[in-house]
Amino acid sequence: MFELCPTKKFSKEIKKLQKSEIERISRKLELAAEQPMVFFEKLEGFNLYKTRVGKFRVISSINFQLKKITLLSVGLRKNIYKKL
């Protein structure tokens, strides 16, 4: 199982969401921690990964050797990629 490590930016962004959305994202990330390659897709042109949770995207960096998923950012699909 992989360890989930949220950044300060991720924590700040997720606090702005509604409670129901936070719960959906949390459940998806817990499942992804068990098998990240089932839930995460590689972003083209970056060494980053994304997962979809409804209209939201979670951008992460995955270290397979340390079994660590660093949660970088969360936001709406239309805005999240402008932040990269």
Max CA separation in the chain (angstroms): 34
**pLDDT beyond 80 at 52:** yes
Amino acid 58 reads V
Q: Give mean pLDDT, residues 31-40.
A: 94
* Beta carbons of 47 and 70 less than 8 angstroms apart: no
CATH architecture of 3-83: 2-Layer Sandwich (3.30)
**pLDDT beyond 90 at 81:** no
Domain boundaries along the sequence of the chain: 3-83
Which residue(s) pair with 6 in the sheet?
A: 71
